[in-house]
Structure 1
Amino acid sequence: MHITRQRPATEQGPAENFTGAVWLDEIAVPPAPSRLRMFNVHFAPGAHTAWHHHPHGQVLHILEGEGRVQRRGGAVEHVRAGDTVWIAPGEWHWHGAGPRTFMTHLAVVEAAGDGTTTEWGAHVADEDQHA
């Protein structure tokens, strides 16, 4: 057993992967053989990810506020505190806060054998955010 009492500092989400103000807190990155990765992600109103996918899928659990998620080709879905979203492996998607509220979620992924957790794509077009 290992208890982490001091986490790395909060990092701002890089502009190449996020639109708007986003902050990430690394919660868990256990040593091998585990490939679990867990982050607490804070989105300012209107902030969101770029299109991306994960080799083994992703679980999002909304802790606070209201947000939006969309899979490629699907409708924009509204989510709120208490909702949990499962995103299938390889499914292109984006997620973030609604236009008038902050949103915080836990994001859980499993890294691939080479350590990668995410493949990033293009930024989300305005028309996709409101579809």
Structure 2
Amino acid sequence: MALHILKSDDGETIERTELSIFEGGQVWGRSLSGAASEEVTMSVVNFGPGARAGWHRHTADQLLYVVSGIGKVGDREGEHVVSAGDCAVVPAGEDHWHGAHDTGSPMAHLTVMKAGSETTVLDS
């Protein structure tokens, strides 16, 4: 596979609010890796104020790097406020949620995972 450059005007930002994993407001996503990598996926996810991904888990580690705004990341032990420049590392199989939630701010993060990782949406 050859070097692939995704320019800022490549790809499409798609509203994802209707997906069952999201709740509380509008969510948009854009793949930054597309089909260019067979090993890793990376996307930017934009959460409107109040929006978040509900409880879920993945079959691979997930890296969440906050690029703008204020958000929260929660696990079964509690929740943590995150802001631009913060990075959360969520181990495979860990129940968690993340997004703008109740901060009053929109939030955007990069999400990086191993390609082929599966997501299970949980009730709570």
Same fold (TM over 0.5): yes
The answer to whether structure 1 residue 74 and structure 2 residue 77 are counterparts is yes
- Tell whether the 8 Å contact from 1:55 to 1:89 is kept in structure 2 after alignment: yes
* TM-score, structure 1 normalization: 0.81
SS in 2 for 1:79: strand
Q: Give the letter for the 1:7 counterpart.
A: D
Measured after TM superposition, the shift of residue 120 of structure 1 is 1.8
**Structure 2: 5+ residue runs without aligned partners?**
none
The answer to whether structure 1 residue 22 and structure 2 residue 23 are counterparts is no
- Tell whether the 8 Å contact from 2:60 to 2:117 is kept in structure 1 after alignment: no
Q: Which residue of 2 aligns with 1:89?
A: 92
* TM-score, structure 2 normalization: 0.85
- CA distance, structure 2, for counterparts of residue 4 and residue 76 of structure 1: 34
- CA distance, structure 2, for counterparts of residue 31 and residue 78 of structure 1: 32
What is the number of residues matched between the two proteins? 118
**Structure 1: 5+ residue runs without aligned partners?**
125-131
Structure whose residues are more often strand by fraction: 2
1:9-59 residue CA offsets vs partner (Å, 9 max, x unmatched) = 211123411011000011113456x32000100001110002111111100
* Root-mean-square deviation over aligned CA pairs: 1.7
Distance 1:120 1:48, change over 3 A: same
